[in-house]
Amino acid sequence: MLSFVSAQIAALGPFFHDVLGGALITIAASAVAFAIGIVFGSILLVARLLGGRVLAWLVVGYVSVIRGTPALIQMLVAYYVLPAVLNLPLSPLEAGILALAMNTGAYVSEILRGAFNSLSGGQLPAARALGMRATQAWRYIVFPQLFYRSIPPLTNEFTMLLKASSLMSIIAVHDLATVARDATLQTNLPLQVFSATAVVYFAILFVASSASRELERRVAKVLPNVH
């Protein structure tokens, strides 16, 4: 049994470097997309809450369309349609990150909106009454609480994003899923290759969710009274 397993691993040995590179692209692209998505989602939330009726409806429509269409289709749109519409050439990786960021931004804005609705009322007027400007009130009173309360759902969103990042392989980004597909074509060992890939994804996602539980604990230590 053990020799069988080691023989299988040996067969995949030549791809070790490709796997590392693919995993790195998967992680880096997801991290960048998540960072953009957090900022974008915050902007969407503020636009929806403060931007007036037209802007609010635009945001509602955008969120509905993103949540109602497959990430795979969004990936194809980002790669094949957006460059023509924006008149801006995009590499596969750029298009992939853009698609993931636009997708996650919509979900992040909904997560933050949920947290906003759970805030005890009157904090914004109170902050204004204490002489804060609106931007200060949002920066120092509202957003810290929103993000603190949203750590668990945001983490969950990040794991969904990491999983969705595998769809970048459809537009020829050289991520982990692409490496796996290429390795399968070369070795004709699909069971071994895709099982190993599943293990690598599992490890990445496991580390990501463990890290976020740790983050949650530390934030709770620093800000014990936010609830």
Partner 1 sequence: MSIDLSIVEQSIGPLLKGLKVTAQVCVLGIPLGIAIGTLAAYLYGSAARLARSAALGYVEIVRNVPFLILVYLSFFGLPKLGIMMPAFGIGVAATAFYTGGYFCEILRGAFGSLPRGQLQAARSLGLSEWHVQRYVVLPQIFGYLAPATTSLTIMMFKDSSIFSVMSLAELTYQSNLLTADTFAYVEVLGTTALIYWVCSVLLDLAGQWSERYATRYRRA
| CB 227, min distance to partner 1, A | 20
Contact 118, 136 (CB under 8 A): no
CA distances from 222 to 144, 218, 227 (A): 12, 6, 13
In one-letter notation, the amino acid at residue 147 is: F
CB of 124 to partner 1, least distance (A): 29
Category of 197 on φ-ψ map: left (φ > 0), alpha (ψ -120 to 50) or beta? alpha
Rounded Cα gap, residues 122 and 141, in angstroms: 11
Binding site for partner 1 (CB under 8 A): 64-65, 67-73, 76-77, 80-81, 84-85, 159, 162-167, 169-170, 177, 180-181, 184, 190-191, 194-195, 197-198, 201-202, 205-206
In whole angstroms, the minimum distance from the beta carbon of 180 to partner 1 comes to 7
For residue 62, the Cα-to-chain-centroid distance in whole angstroms is 17
Residues 76 and 170 sit within 8 Å (Cβ to Cβ): yes
Which among 86, 96, 107 has a CA at the least distance from the CA of 37?
107
Tokens of 74: 């969004």
**CB 51 → partner 1: shortest distance, Å?**
23
In whole angstroms, give the CA distance from residue 145 to residue 116.
8
For 37-188, list the strands marked E by DSSP. none
Q: Which is nearer to partner 1, 138 or 201 (CB)?
A: 201
Q: Least separation, in Å, of the C-beta of 81 and partner 1?
A: 5
In terms of CB distance, is 128 or 163 closer to partner 1? 163
Q: Least distance from C-beta 167 to partner 1, angstroms? A: 6
Cα 80 from Cα 106, distance rounded (Å): 21
Residue number, 2 or 85, with CB nearest to partner 1: 85
